[in-house]
Copies of this chain bind each other. A is one copy, B any other.
Amino acid sequence: MTEFEQLFKGLNIVEEKLQEHILKEGIVQTLPKNTFIVEQDKYIKWLAIVISGKVRVWQENEDRQILLYYVNPIQTCVLSLSATFRDCKSLVHAKTEMETIIIKIPVRFVSEWSFTFKSWNIFTTNSFIISYEDLLLSYKDLAFKKINERLIDYLRSEANRNNSSIIQISHQQLAKEVGTTREVVSKILKQYELDHIVKLQFKKIELLS
Which residues of A does B touch, CB under 8 Å? 59, 61, 64, 66, 68, 78-79, 82, 85-86, 91-92, 111, 114-115, 118, 121, 124-126, 128-129, 131-133, 135-140, 142-144, 179
Contact = CB atoms under 8 A, between A and B. Distances in A.
Copy tally for this chain in the complex stands at 2
A85 B144 contact: no
B132 A82 contact: yes
A131 B129 contact: no
4 tightest CB-CB pairs across the interface, nearest first? Answer: A128-B128, A82-B129, A66-B143, A61-B144
Contacts of A82: 128-129, 132-133
Given A115-B115, A137-B91, A132 B132 contact: yes
Please report whether the interface of chain A is mostly helix, strand, loop or mixed according to DSSP: helix
Pick the most buried of A59, A114, A137, A143: most chain B CB atoms within 10 A of its CB.
A143
B143 A86 contact: no
A158 to B, nearest CB: 19
Pick the most buried of A78, A131, A132, A140: most chain B CB atoms within 10 A of its CB.
A132
A139 B129 contact: no
Nearest to A67: B143
A69 to B, nearest CB: 11
B128 A91 contact: no
A39 to B, nearest CB: 15
Contacts of A129: 82, 85-86, 128
Contacts of A132: 78-79, 82, 128, 131-132, 135
A154 to B, nearest CB: 14
Contact of A64 (B61, B128, B144): B144
